[in-house]
């Protein structure tokens, strides 16, 4: 397993050089085009482990791994978005995210054309965020939610984007609004970094003859998603928001061993039908913010989270509980079937300025299953951890 | 001299109360809106007037007394919440924040140049070129 562990005094000059070039290109573009609007956001996240062998937030694409010392690369990210008004009804949107997890190499998160069919109806074509969760669209935009990160136990789908088409219709009522979205598309992930890391921790931990952990075995996993068709129904009535999403399609999971001769398929490479359901309730009261979300990935897992935050002017303390229980459609080691874990987060957000928030969170991770979900040095299948993280979220 | 002017501005800013602001459209714009409708438009929950015509909300720039009063008393959110709501809409491709202008001169000119605009002004500037469609709600004494 390649580690991105970096101590505070060895921080990223090369990566920021690369990102600065990326920023410069956008600045030049915006200076030349009046119809181009450039905006952005970012989060600088630092974390450490207070107890346990390590903590892994897992999102996105396996990011958020903390083992020892202060880790600043794993979840930090910077993003730029360009909105270009091509014509009265046509807009083009490109959002590029540079993550510390990827050595700040900019990658396309969104890239689509949007056709405004009416004031309440819009068609989008291109690369889009898969809208399966309540917070799918804003997972990277830390300033928009109270937590240091969206509780990742409940946001574990191995694909976050898709290439396709999306049609949204909104109805405004006297008491609130209803938004209905349908979409279709596909996405290939090769390698699938989240699943590769999960399987490495579950099945590929290597120990020497005296029982010391020596590393993770090399594997390669892929997940291909085709014929994805989904819908989202969201109802907002003043302080109450109810949301339901459903996705169906086909997926193909492959697990390869890596040897000097190349990849050797250990299992998988079979197309199977798949379904994903998610429901959430959100209460946005005067001082209290309450949310609960539950989802079901057919034959693979169930997960959930619930949270309460108290908004007191600039301060927002919060608590959340989240859980994940796998049902293992694919199992490499039948003795390690039980993926089951829960997290408790206690945190605080402080708004330094309208566009800047400082957050801290204590995360208590409780591994209740047999399968290790991080390095398991004593090989008991129990990978409990306590982690502390601080973030600075901003937008511009 | 600059310091004196700055001190005067800082002294005068808190004096701009909710009673001094009115929500306006241009004189020829026939739209009727309630405060709830205005709130929906400024928080990205609606992009049209009641007859379906596109609405163009305009804001004062961050840090101005007019904006602070409007965000607090009409939108009933904090500045951070307002920024967060529009960040969510912007970065998910579901909306573009209102145009922001530095001062009343800019807001007046924008409303007059764009008939679909809705904006707010200090009452004394809302002359016959504009039509007042809402006044800020009366203060509730605690």
| pLDDT tens digits for range A51-109 | 998 999 988 888 899 988 999 999 999 999 999 988 878 899 999 999 999 999 999 99
CATH no. for A8-395:
2.40.160.10
Chain B CB contacts of A141 under 8 Å are 87-88, 91
HSE, CB side, 13 Å, CA atoms: give it for residue A225. Answer: 25
Compute the average pLDDT of residues A279-308: 95
Query: What is the pLDDT confidence band of residue A4, given thresholds at 50, 70 and 90?
Result: very low
Most confident by average pLDDT, A14-18, A84-88, A210-214: A210-214
Whole-number average pLDDT of chain A? 88
A70 touches chain B (CB under 8 A): no
Chain B CB contacts of A83 under 8 Å are 90, 96
At residue B14, the pLDDT reads 46
Instruction: Tell me: ipTM over 0.95.
Output: no
| Closest residue in A to B37 (Cα–Cα) | A174
A277: pLDDT strictly greater than 60: yes
At residue A121, the pLDDT reads 92
A1: pLDDT strictly greater than 70: no
A333: pLDDT strictly greater than 90: no
Contact (CB<8Å) A81/B62:
no
B46 touches chain A (CB under 8 A): yes
Mutant choice from A88, A168, A355, A396 vs B, greatest count of B C-beta within 10 A: A355
Compute the average pLDDT of residues B26-45: 90
Task: Copy the structure tokens of residue B96.
Answer: 């573009």
At residue B10, the pLDDT reads 44
Compute the average pLDDT of residues A354-362: 96
Most confident by average pLDDT, A276-280, A313-317, B63-67: A276-280
Contact (CB<8Å) A110/B62:
no
Pairing verdict, β B99-101 and A77-85? unpaired
CB burial class (10 A; 0-12, 13-18, 19+) of residue A171?
exposed
A279: pLDDT strictly greater than 90: yes
User: Domains in chain B and their CATH numbers?
Assistant: 16-135 (3.40.190.10)
At residue A173, the pLDDT reads 85
Pairing verdict, β A385-395 and A356-367? antiparallel
| Closest residue in A to B96 (Cα–Cα) | A83
Q: What's the pLDDT tens digit per position in A76-91? A: 999 999 999 888 788 9
B116 touches chain A (CB under 8 A): no
Query: Do residues A361 and A317 touch, judged by C-beta distance below 8 A?
Result: no
Q: Is A363 left (phi over 0), alpha (psi -120 to 50) or beta?
A: beta
Query: Which one of A39, A119, A129 has the shortest CB-CB distance to B48?
Result: A119
Chain B CB contacts of A39 under 8 Å are 90-91
| Closest residue in B to A354 (Cα–Cα) | B80
At residue A12, the pLDDT reads 46
Q: Where are the beta strands (DSSP E) in chain B?
A: 21-26, 56-60, 99-101, 117-122, 130-135
- Residues A123 and A108: their CA atoms lie apart, in Å, by 20
Least confident of A8-12, A297-301, A388-392: A8-12
Match 């009727």 to its residue by tokens.
B32
HSE, CB side, 13 Å, CA atoms: give it for residue A223. Answer: 20
HSE, CB side, 13 Å, CA atoms: give it for residue A329. Answer: 17
Helices (H), chain A: 13-32, 193-203
- Residues B29 and B40: their CA atoms lie apart, in Å, by 19
A47: pLDDT strictly greater than 50: yes
Contact (CB<8Å) B80/A144:
no
A144 touches chain B (CB under 8 A): yes
- Residues A142 and B42: their CA atoms lie apart, in Å, by 22
At residue B19, the pLDDT reads 55
B47: pLDDT strictly greater than 90: no
Query: What is the pLDDT confidence band of residue A335, given thresholds at 50, 70 and 90?
Result: low
Compute the average pLDDT of residues B8-37: 73
- Residue A344 to chain B, least CA–CA distance (Å): 25
Number of H helices, E strands in chain A: 2, 20
User: Which pTM does this prediction carry?
Assistant: 0.85
Query: What is the pLDDT confidence band of residue A395, given thresholds at 50, 70 and 90?
Result: very high
Query: Which one of A41, A120, A351 has the shortest CB-CB distance to B91?
Result: A41
Pairing verdict, β A176-189 and A121-129? unpaired
- Residues A296 and A335: their CA atoms lie apart, in Å, by 23
In chain A, what are the domain boundaries?
Answer: 8-395
- Residues A168 and A181: their CA atoms lie apart, in Å, by 4
A105 touches chain B (CB under 8 A): no
At residue A357, the pLDDT reads 97
Mutant choice from B36, B47, B55, B80 vs A, greatest count of A C-beta within 10 A: B80
Mutant choice from A35, A36, A37, A39 vs B, greatest count of B C-beta within 10 A: A39
Query: What is the pLDDT confidence band of residue A394, given thresholds at 50, 70 and 90?
Result: very high
Query: Which one of A79, A95, A177 has the shortest CB-CB distance to B45?
Result: A177
Which A-chain residues 147-186 have CB contacts (< 8 A) with chain B?
A: 172, 177
Compute the average pLDDT of residues A240-258: 96
Q: What percent of chain A has pLDDT over 90?
A: 67
Q: Where are the beta strands (DSSP E) in A57-175?
A: 65-66, 77-85, 90-99, 106-118, 121-129, 161-172
Query: What is the pLDDT confidence band of residue B13, given thresholds at 50, 70 and 90?
Result: very low
- Residues A161 and A95: their CA atoms lie apart, in Å, by 12
- Residues A156 and A60: their CA atoms lie apart, in Å, by 9
Compute the average pLDDT of residues A370-395: 89
Compute the average pLDDT of residues A364-391: 88
Compute the average pLDDT of residues A358-372: 92
A148: pLDDT strictly greater than 90: yes
Contact (CB<8Å) B91/A114:
no
Q: What percent of chain A has pLDDT over 70?
A: 89
- Residue B121 to chain A, least CA–CA distance (Å): 22
């Amino acid at each position: 397993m390649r580690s991105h562990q970096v101590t505070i005094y060895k921080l990223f000059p090369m990566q920021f050089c690369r990102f600065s070039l990326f920023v410069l290109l956008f600045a030049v573009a915006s200076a030349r085009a009046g119809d181009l609007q450039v905006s952005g956001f970012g989060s600088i996240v630092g974390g450490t482990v207070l107890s346990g062998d390590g903590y892994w937030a897992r999102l996105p694409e396996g990011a958020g791994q903390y083992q020892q010392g202060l880790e600043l690369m794993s979840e930090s990210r910077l993003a730029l978005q360009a909105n270009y008004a091509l014509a009265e009804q046509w807009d083009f949107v490109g959002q590029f995210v540079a993550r510390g997890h990827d050595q700040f190499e900019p990658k396309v998160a969104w890239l689509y054309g949007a056709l405004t069919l009416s004031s309440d109806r819009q068609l989008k074509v291109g690369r889009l965020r898969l809208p399966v969760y309540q917070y799918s669209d804003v997972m990277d935009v830390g300033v928009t939610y109270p937590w240091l990160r969206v509780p990742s136990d409940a946001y574990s789908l191995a694909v976050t984007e898709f290439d396709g088409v999306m049609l949204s219709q909104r109805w405004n009522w006297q008491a609130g609004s209803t938004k209905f979205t349908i979409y279709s598309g596909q996405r290939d992930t090769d390698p699938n970094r989240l699943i590769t890391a999960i399987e490495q921790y579950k099945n590929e931990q290597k120990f020497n003859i005296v029982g010391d952990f020596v590393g993770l075995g090399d594997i390669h996993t892929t997940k291909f998603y085709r014929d994805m068709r989904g819908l989202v129904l969201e109802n907002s009535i003043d302080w109450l928001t109810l949301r339901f999403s459903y996705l169906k399609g086909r997926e193909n999971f492959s697990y390869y061993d890596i040897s000097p001769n190349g990849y050797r398929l250990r299992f998988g490479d079979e197309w199977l039908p798949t379904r994903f359901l998610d429901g959430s309730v959100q209460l946005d009261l005067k001082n209290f913010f309450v949310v609960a979300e539950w989802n079901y990935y057919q034959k693979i897992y169930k997960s959930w989270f619930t949270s309460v935050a108290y908004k007191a002017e600039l301060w927002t303390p919060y608590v959340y509980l989240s859980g994940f229980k796998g049902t293992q459609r694919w199992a490499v080691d039948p003795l390690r079937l039980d993926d089951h874990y829960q997290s408790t987060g206690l945190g605080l957000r402080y708004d330094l300025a309208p566009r800047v928030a400082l957050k801290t969170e204590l995360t208590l991770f409780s591994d209740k299953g047999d399968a290790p979900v991080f390095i398991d040095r004593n090989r008991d299948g129990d990978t409990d951890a306590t982690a502390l993280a601080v973030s600075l979220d901003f937008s511009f | 001299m600059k310091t004196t002017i700055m001190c005067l501005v800082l002294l005068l800013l808190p004096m701009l109360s909710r009673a001094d602001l009115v929500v306006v459209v241009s004189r020829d714009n026939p739209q009727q809106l309630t405060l709830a409708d205005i709130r929906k438009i400024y928080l990205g929950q609606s992009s049209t007037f009641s007859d379906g015509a596109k609405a163009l909300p305009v804001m004062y720039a961050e840090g101005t007394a007019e904006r602070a009063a409007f965000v607090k008393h009409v939108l009933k959110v904090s500045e951070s919440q307002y920024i967060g709501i529009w960040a969510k809409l912007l970065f998910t491709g579901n909306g573009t924040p209102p145009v922001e202008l530095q001062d009343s001169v800019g807001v007046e000119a924008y409303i007059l140049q764009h008939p679909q605009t809705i904006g707010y002004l200090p009452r004394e500037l809302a002359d016959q070129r504009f039509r007042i469609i809402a006044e800020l709600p009366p203060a509730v004494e605690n």
